Amino acid sequence: MIRSIGIALLMVVCTGAQQSVGPIPRQTILAELVAANRILANEGVMDSYGHVSMRDPGNPGSFFLSRDIPPGNVSAADILQYDLDGNAIAAGNASSYSERFIHSEIYRARPDVMAVVHAHSQEVIPFAATGIPLQPLFHMAAFLGVGIPVFDPRDAGSSGDLSVRSPAMGKSLAATLGAKPGLLMRGHGMVLVGPSLHVAVARSYYMNANAQLQVQSAQLGGTSKVHYLDADETMKASPVDNYERAWAWWKQRAEKGK
Ligand SMILES: [Zn+2]
């Protein structure tokens, strides 16, 4: 039963936001999002900050996102539903993440995106700071080969706090993202998107891993000697299971607290 729900959910989130979907219990969607929060915290992609959301497959004009708490503490009761203006539906007294407009404006601009991750990953900060592009070093991060743009809050009219706290800033970030799988935020962190929640989470994990490997490779051999995946490898090397094995393993680890 659980396996069939998982497969159905995977099929739904991979079909795209515009498509009508069959009934998926709300509690199943919330459980997936709780698992994503716990995984990202447990695997060190997020610390006490950062957030992950999932578009509502049955109502593509809305998405699910936790209230303003650390991702490692998120439970189903903490998850709110938002419209694409970033307004929480029936939030009560719960406070929202100030950067929820990252999510709302990406969902508005990208009908193909079913999940969004925003993290303050220290591993990627040097790349946006120096302008050295992230490039794929191994097959698990082949998606980086299409190029990862850098969003500079100053260019979007930031007053200097480096955060995306308005729909206008969110629109600017979504425009920088374009059709890419993710971007770097100078002086802040990163955003990854995906056609499913599992893929968005995995891209976050493996972008961090690739950033670490790229720094190590440069230290070993100098940037001119590093062999990155070429264009052909970038197209062919993505995991055939869309990271499903990784998701199952990370979820098991998170549930065991290790
Ligand atoms: Zn942030």
Per residue in 52-83, pLDDT (tens digit) is: 999 999 999 999 999 999 999 999 999 999 99
Give the model confidence (pLDDT) of 1-41 as tens digits.
Answer: 344 334 444 444 433 333 334 567 899 999 999 999 999 99
Residue 54 is predicted with a pLDDT of: 97
Contact between 101 and 86 under an 8 Å Cβ cutoff? The reply is: yes
Exposed/middle/buried for 131, CB within 10 Å: 0-12, 13-18, 19+? exposed
Q: How many domains does the chain have?
A: 1
Cα of 49 vs centre of ligand 1, distance in Å, is 7
Give the residue from 226, 42, 200, 198 showing the smallest Cα distance to 110.
Answer: 200
pLDDT digit string, tens, across residues 81-102: 999 999 999 878 899 999 999 9
Gap from CA of 129 to ligand 1 centroid (Å): 16
| Entry pTM | 0.90
Backbone angles phi, psi at 5, to 5 degrees: -65, -40
Q: Are 24 and 12 in contact (CB under 8 A)?
A: yes
Q: How far is the CA of 53 from the centre of ligand 1 (A)?
A: 14
- At residue 223 the predicted structure's pLDDT band, cuts being 50, 70 and 90, is low
What CA–CA distances, in Å, run from 12 to 17, 76, 79, 254? 9, 21, 20, 24
DSSP label of 114: -
pLDDT per residue as tens digits for the range 134-172: 999 999 999 999 999 999 988 887 778 898 999 999 999
pLDDT (tens digit per residue) in 115-140 = 999 999 999 999 999 999 999 999 99
CATH number of the CATH domain containing 20: 3.40.225.10
Which residue range is the domain that position 249 belongs to? Answer: 2-256
Residue 188 CA, ligand 1 centroid: distance in Å: 6
**Residues noted as catalytic:** 99
Comparing C-alpha atoms, which of 102, 103, 124, 114 is closest to residue 44?
124
Ligand 1 ion: residues within 5 Å (CB)? 99
